[in-house]
């Protein structure tokens, strides 16, 4: 029998307990920077070196981070569900925990591509990108990150997954950044939505929602246990 499709939408709160700071909990500053200076197309044109250095330090920080109990619990769900993780995070902690299917809406820190092209995309691991690092065609490399002001290429695929799921879990996202937040409106009418977040996102949910006011590392294993029991 086909497994039920369970989609998990994750945001910065998912990785907070792995030591990676969220964006909006720190007063609109991301590691001391105005998000628009370091994560936008304008920011790149204004000061590419600063943008590269910003992502280089995020990448170095990621190297020492480890998946938390929340990431690990989501892997367990694969025993009984067809799990699709849609993450706004640019870290690789879901993959390192062992999740099989992860869609990165906002790109990936451990990948690079040429400035003016969507591809090719290279794995760079935890290596820095510097001004002057070129591909074989002489194009400057940039992080494979979706900045403010850019299209979100994985949206179409993500929308399809949400529209065909039977359960939606939302973990650690403020749901203020679009188009990612709009995915929630695509959930089928009868599919339950579970939200794990110490603070409730200010979002007008359409369907039946259950809020679990807990951190990702505490709330996720609890809910996963419940969801696995529910189908056994």
Tokens 């419940």, residue located? 226
Distance CA 192, CA 203 (A): 16
Distance CA 17, CA 14 (A): 7
Distance CA 25, CA 12 (A): 10
Pick the closer one to ligand APR by CB: 16 or 124. 16
Pick the closer one to ligand APR by CB: 24 or 96. 24
Smallest distance, ligand APR to C-beta of residue 107, A: 9
Smallest distance, ligand APR to C-beta of residue 50, A: 17
Smallest distance, ligand APR to C-beta of residue 102, A: 14
Smallest distance, ligand APR to C-beta of residue 204, A: 15
Pick the closer one to ligand APR by CB: 26 or 117. 26
96 membership: H or E segment, kind and range: helix 93-97
Distance CA 122, CA 138 (A): 15
CA neighbor of 155 nearest in space, from 172, 135, 140, 177: 177
Residue nearest to ligand APR (CB): 13
Can you tell me whether residue 130 is helix, strand or coil?
coil
Structural tokens at position 85: 């993780």
Q: Where are the beta strands (DSSP E) in the chain?
A: 4-10, 29-30, 33-34, 81-87, 102-104, 107-114, 122-123, 141-145, 167-171, 193-196, 209-212
Tokens 């039977």, residue located? 166
Smallest distance, ligand APR to C-beta of residue 201, A: 5
Pick the closer one to ligand APR by CB: 88 or 110. 88
- For ligand APR, the binding residues (CB under 6 A) are 11-13, 16-17, 22-25, 35, 88, 106, 172-174, 176-177, 197-199, 201, 215-216
Pick the closer one to ligand APR by CB: 25 or 37. 25
Catalytic residue among 106, 144, 190, 213: 106
Residue 33 is among the residues annotated as catalytic for this protein? no
Looking at the annotation, which residues are catalytic?
106
């Amino acid at each position: 029998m086909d497994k039920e499709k369970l989609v998990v939408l994750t945001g910065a709160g998912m990785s907070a307990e792995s030591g990676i700071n969220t964006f909006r909990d720190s007063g609109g500053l991301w590691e001391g920077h105005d998000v628009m200076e370091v994560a936008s197309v304008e920011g790149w044109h204004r000061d590419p070196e600063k943008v590269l250095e910003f992502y280089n330090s995020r990448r170095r920080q990621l190297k020492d981070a480890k998946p938390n109990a929340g990431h690990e619990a989501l892997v367990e769900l694969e025993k009984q569900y067809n799990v699709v993780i849609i993450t706004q995070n640019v870290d690789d902690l879901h993959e390192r925990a062992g999740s099989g299917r992860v869609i990165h809406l906002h790109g990936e820190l451990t990948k690079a591509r040429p400035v003016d092209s969507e591809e090719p995309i290279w794995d760079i691991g935890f290596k820095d990108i510097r001004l002057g690092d070129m591909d074989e065609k002489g194009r400057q490399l940039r992080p494979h990150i979706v900045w403010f002001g850019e299209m979100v290429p994985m949206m179409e695929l993500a929308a399809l997954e949400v529209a065909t799921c039977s359960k939606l879990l939302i973990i650690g996202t403020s749901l203020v950044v679009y188009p990612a937040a709009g995915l929630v409106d695509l959930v089928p009418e009868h599919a339950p939505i579970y939200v794990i977040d110490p603070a409730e996102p200010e979002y007008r949910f359409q369907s039946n929602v259950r809020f679990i006011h807990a951190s990702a590392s505490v709330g996720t294993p609890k809910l996963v246990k419940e969801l696995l029991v529910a189908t056994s």
